[in-house]
Homo-oligomer: A and B are copies of this chain.
Amino acid sequence: MKSTPINTAQLPTTPGEEKPAVTVTVLIFSVHNDNFQIVLCKRTREPFKNEWMVPGGLIKIDESLEDAALRILEEKTGIRNVFLEQLYAFGDPKRDPRERRIAIAYYALLPFNSIKLAKDGVHPESKWFPVKQVPHLAFDHNNIIEYAKKRVCSKITYTNVAQSLLPEKFTLSQLQKIYEVILEESLDKRNFRKKMKSLDLLTSLSEKQIEGRHRPAQLYTFKTKELVTFD
């Protein structure tokens, strides 16, 4: 069974041993133009020079994982106050050709119009991509995005996290579109509204949204901004 039993259970301090580097990677998602979209950055140096990547960076020695994710999120978007959740730790020893790096991935969901991507020359170029059209990425980042897609699909079906992708006030059609885009299937309008009503998550406002030459739509908000899990 076991060849050389070494007592690692004690977490002994081993100053001589080589440590992996730890990075935090943040997948920034939104929905826009009937597409589930993600922010990618263009690399300016080797390895994978000129290829696209998910934004991330080395963790600082006194910074929590979530703080690191918030820092990276803020560098890219200027905001911090959005849905952010740890996704998974990716640790294949060969995932970075330079050295051993473990990536702890987070994902954020935000309303598309809440941010403008920095184009200030300090950061490398960053851009929204429809998730279905992301090119070949640096490192294992295509894998990470695939993993995140599944998480978002399931999370949106059993929680109220869809609100993270919408502005404060929204119409039922906008909300339905979020579900349709992420789940990649069209939903029946009457059944969708019946379900939303039964979940009792929304407050209908007195305002209406007037847009185009057609009947204005009722505006709604979520009753709570907390993450609510149902089912």
Which positions in A face B, CB cutoff 8 Å? 1-2, 5-14, 17-23, 41, 43-45, 53, 55-59, 61-66, 71-72, 74-76, 78-79, 86, 88-89, 91-93, 96, 98-102, 104, 118, 120, 122-124, 126
**B102 and A7 contact, CB distance less than 8 A:** no
**A72 and B8 contact, CB distance less than 8 A:** yes
- Closest B residue to A92 by beta carbon equals B64
What secondary structure prevails in chain A residues at the interface with B? loop
Copies of this chain, count: 2
A-B contacts, 5 of them at CB < 8 A, read A2-B75, A5-B120, A8-B72, A12-B58, A66-B91
Q: Which of A12, A23, A61 has the most chain B CB atoms inside 10 A of its CB?
A: A61
Query: Please, how many angstroms separate the alpha-carbon atoms of A89 and B64 in the complex?
Result: 11
- Closest B residue to A74 by beta carbon equals B2
Residues of B within 8 A of A62 (CB): 93, 100
Query: Please, how many angstroms separate the alpha-carbon atoms of A169 and B124 in the complex?
Result: 58
Min C-beta distance of A74 to chain B, whole Å = 6
**A8 and B88 contact, CB distance less than 8 A:** no
